[in-house]
Structure 1
Amino acid sequence: MVTNSKKADWGVIRQSSAFHHLMQQKKAFILPSTIFFMVFYFILPVLTAFTSSLDGKVIGAINWAYIYAFAQFIMTWVLSHMYLKKAREFDQLAKKVKDDVEGKGESAK
């Protein structure tokens, strides 16, 4: 196990503009995508329990409820892929925070 001999000064990190930018970017992605996921996920049980809107047949015995349930798998994969792409950006921003705090960044001049 590798340990870092330097301890992070969270007070300095928390005050850096790069850290605020990182947190702003994360909130701008994570909050709306989480809300979308939760709404999309919970609409299926609500619609099937309280309405008959998903009862219509599409092909044979397959109705709209099955299509919607399958769409949830697709939505999960799409959101996961989107997060993977954004996580690369978050990693770059986190590296900038680290560089700024260590005095290597532009804002530390």
Structure 2
Amino acid sequence: MREGKIDYSKAAASPEFQRLLSRKRAFIVPMTIFFLLFYFLLPVMTSYFTFLNQPAVGAITWAWVFAIAQFVMTWTLCIMYTKKAGQFDQIANDFKKKIGGVDS
């Protein structure tokens, strides 16, 4: 490899880069599946079941509780991803330094 030139094919095939992709995939795929299941569970359950129409607290039904829980779940996943992304960025920056890329 010449100074300033990066062999991207070799970098992409390296064990370090593959490990980074594997770690990202191991976090992102399950979280995405969980999010989609949790998100679509409310409309499916309200369409086919009636137990969410029962009062939880006063006039507030379990459907409203579930809907509010979706906001909490979204914020929680965003916070989790932000923290995890910082770790992924650090690994990526270390990898770029190793292969001679510019640190951003």
Q: Same fold (TM over 0.5)?
A: yes
| Structure-1 residue corresponding to 2:35 | 37
Structure 1 residue 12 displacement after superposition: 2.0
- 1:102 counterpart letter in structure 2: G
* Equivalent residue, structure 2, for 1:13: 11
Residue identity matched to 2:62: W
Matched, 1:97 2:98: no
Q: 1:17 & 1:99 partners in 2: Cα distance?
A: 15
Once the two structures are aligned, what percentage of the paired residues are identical? 47
SS in 2 for 1:54: helix
Measure, in 2, the Cα distance between the counterparts of 1:7 and 1:50: 59
What does residue 22 of structure 2 align with?
Answer: 24
Moved over 4 A (4+): none
Equivalence map 1:47-86=2 (5 Å): 47-86=45-84
SS at match of 2:56: strand
Judge conservation of contact 1:13–1:101 (CA < 8 Å) in 2: yes
Please tell me whether the aligned partners of residues 48 and 54 of structure 1 are also in contact (alpha carbons under 8 angstroms): yes
- Name stretches of at least 5 consecutive residues in structure 2 with no aligned partner: none
Separation in 1, partners of 2:58, 2:35: 29
Taking the aligned partners of 1:19 and 1:80, their CA distance within structure 2 comes to 24
Q: CA deviation at 1:16?
A: 1.5
| Structure-2-length-normalised TM-score | 0.87
Is contact 1:13–1:19 with CA below 8 Å preserved after alignment?
Answer: yes
**Aligned length in residues:** 98
Change (3 A) 1:53 1:8: farther
CA distance in 2 between partners of 1:70 and 1:17 (Å): 42
CA-based RMSD of the aligned residues comes to 1.6
